[in-house]
Amino acid sequence: MPRWSAGPFSLIKAEMQPAYETPQFTTSRSDAPAIEAGLIAVPVFQGQREQVDWVNQATNGEMGAAFDRAEFNGKAYEMWAAHPSGWRTSRLLLVGAGPEREFDAERARRIGACVGLASRSQKQQRIAVLLSDAWSEPHIEALAEGATLANYDNGHYKSKHDGRFFVSAIEIVTGHDIATAVERGQRLGEAINAARLLINEPGNRLTPREFVSRGEALVSVPGVTVETLDEHRMEELGMGLLLGVARGSTEPPRMLVARYEPVGAPATPVLGLVGKGVTFDTGGISIKPADGMERMKDDMAGGATVIAALRAIALERLPIRVIAIVPATENMPGGRATKPGDVHQSASGITVEINNTDAEGRLILGDGLWYAKELGATHLIDVATLTGAVVVALGKTTTGLFGTEGWGEIVEAAARRSGEKVWPMPLFDDYREALKSEIADLLNSPGRAAGAITAAMFLKEFVGTTPWAHLDIAGTAWAEDARAWTVKGATGVMVRTLVEVARSAGKNWP
């Protein structure tokens, strides 16, 4: 009987509907009445009625009346619709941009998403967005990204056509030369949508082999070479932690190794991105409760993030060498599964006592981080839905950031520029005491107290003196509820932060 089965199993044979489409962007300096589009959107800062007084005549005074009645005042993400007269378009949408002093890239991104989702709900294929001089290039890049993100739909497995609709063309009207910014935003939004699609996939469709196969396709762009390690190569390398997690599944593990080596890039630094790729996590022998276990299909979100980020970095042709590592496996309670009390040895030689098989992500990342260093990474970032403890600490809005001195601050600054929320967490040496095992070098799960921190401390054992940061996205990888700027499901969080780190290539890096 083979150790692992021959192939993935699925009974779904029908052709699925597309999950997303990337809209075609154009830029212009057209006047509003002359624009040919199904809908024109105009962002308005809070309380700045005079900013759009020129609209009042076209709406026969309706806009002014809306302001007078406080029906619309420009509060963030509120919307007001009208039918302008004398214009080539029949629909006008004012979108609140909030107070101008609070305006930043994240606000711009959400406005773009609001416009996109509203246009989809009104089934408008061609739309235009009129921007004031307050919108700089970074804001416009974020707007294009947000509008691209809005063109995503989770329902691609529904067998009946359910009125799904995508925006096909978006014209951005501004006095600036913003073609490059729009292109960057579109490219980043497309990469994030690709990550969201992977994260939303059910476990029977996205096995480790299928995950890595799709990852290979996504990073098959100029400048990138790809290699996939199978279970035999892992055994040769001594990756006992990754193989130990995979033992309980009939699906064999895989490790995606992608290298972006642009012509002319300096030999150093080399950015190593490592993403957790557990395509379904039952908890293993330490099995999870049934309630909510279906969400564990998203336990490969870190891996999808790394794949999408590498794609965006390569397509942007950033002058930095990058290595992306995604260890992929299921964590199942099979007859050969790792048992609590077992000891496994990592490729680095570190031995680990497994006292909780549901603390599996740190195990596979340990072998992944080691391999990234072996391949020459000089700076490391890992991304993982690692701990429920980080959700207790920071909730669903903020990613936990752990990092070595100097490098952690670089990653934090990149997140701030990209509009993503992170919060630095401590890595004091005292926390390492909890990792001590009586029979091995490390214990994989010291308990509930400071759980997110001790998980990060575990990973730190595999990086040595290499600058390293860990992003725990357990709380931010999934949106529990739909909002004006997003649908429920995978968020694609941290893709833009990783790209922003790469954009800062070498600047003040430790």
As a whole number of angstroms, the distance between CA 32 and CA 59 comes to 13
- CA–CA separation, 496 vs 183, rounded Å? 14
184 domain-assigned:
no
- Decide: residue 288, CB within 10 A, 0-12 exposed, 13-18 middle, 19+ buried: middle
One domain for residues 437 and 303: yes
Q: Which residues pair with 343 in a beta bridge?
A: 353
Q: In the Cβ-directed half-sphere of 375, how many Cα atoms lie within 13 Å?
A: 25
- pLDDT tens, 328-370? 999 999 999 999 999 999 999 999 999 999 999 999 999 999 9
The pLDDT score that the predictor gives to residue 2 is 42
DSSP 102: G
| Residue 183 within a domain | no
Q: Does residue 87 lie within any of the structural domains?
A: yes
Q: Is residue 430 part of a domain?
A: yes
Range of the domain at 241: 202-503
Q: Are residues 164 and 218 in the same domain?
A: no
What values do phi and psi take at 322, rounded to 5? -135, 135
Q: How far is CA 291 from CA 84, 147, 206, 288, in A?
A: 50, 34, 21, 8
Do 139 and 230 fall into the same domain?
no
Domain containing residue 372: CATH number:
3.40.630.10
The tokens describing 107, both together, are: 């606000």
Inter-helix orientation angle 105-121/137-149, to 10° = 40
- Pair (97, 235) in one structural domain: no
Q: What is the per-residue pLDDT for 138?
A: 93
CATH code (residue 48): 3.40.220.10
Sites in the chain below the pLDDT cut of 70:
1-16, 161-163
Tell me, yes or no, whether 132 and 215 share the same domain.
Answer: no
Q: What is the DSSP letter of 23?
A: P
Question: How many whole angstroms separate alpha carbon 234 and alpha carbon 367?
Answer: 10
pLDDT at 356: 98
Closest CA relative to residue 281, chosen from 298, 267, 264:
298
Alpha carbons 492 and 301: distance in angstroms, whole number: 8
Query: pTM of the entire structure?
Result: 0.95
Specify whether 153 is located in the same domain as 215. Answer: no
Residue 146 · residue 189 · CB < 8 Å: yes
Contact 88, 62 (CB under 8 A): no
Give backbone dihedrals phi and psi of 29, rounded to 5 degrees, phi first: -125, 30
Q: Which of 188, 404, 398, 371 is nearest to 275 (CA)?
A: 371
- Give the model's pLDDT for residue 232: 98
Q: What per-residue string of b and e applies to 169-191 under the rule 16 or more CB within 10 Å gives b?
A: ebbbbbebebeebbbbbbbbbbb
Structural domain contains residue 13: no
Spatial contact of 340 and 357, defined as CB atoms under 8 Å apart: yes
Map residue 220 onto helix, strand or coil. Answer: coil
365 close to 276: Cβ distance less than 8 angstroms: yes
Lookup: tokens for 112: 């773009």
Q: Are residues 394 and 478 in the same domain?
A: yes
Residue 7, class by beta-carbon neighbours within 10 Å (0-12 exposed, 13-18 middle, 19+ buried)?
A: exposed
Beta bridge partner(s), residue 273: 324, 381
- Among candidates 61, 19, 65, 356, which has minimal Cα distance to 202? 19
Residue 287 shares a structural domain with residue 424:
yes
Residue type, 51: Q
The reply to whether 238 and 301 lie within a common domain is: yes
Same domain, 365 and 448: yes
E strand or H helix that includes residue 77: none
Asked whether residue 15 is assigned to any structural domain, the reply reads no
Amino acid sitting at position 190: E
Whether 18 is covered by a domain: the verdict is no
Same domain, residue pair 310 and 453:
yes
- Is 439 within 8 Å of 341 (Cβ atoms)? no
Q: What share of the chain is helix, strand, coil (3-state, %, to 5)?
A: 35, 20, 45
| Count of domains observed in the chain | 2
**Same domain, yes or no: 120 and 214:** no
**Among candidate residues 158, 174, 190, the one where a domain is terminated:** 174
Please give the positions annotated as active site.
288, 362
Domain contains 182: no
* Contact call for residues 5 and 231 (beta carbons, < 8 A): no
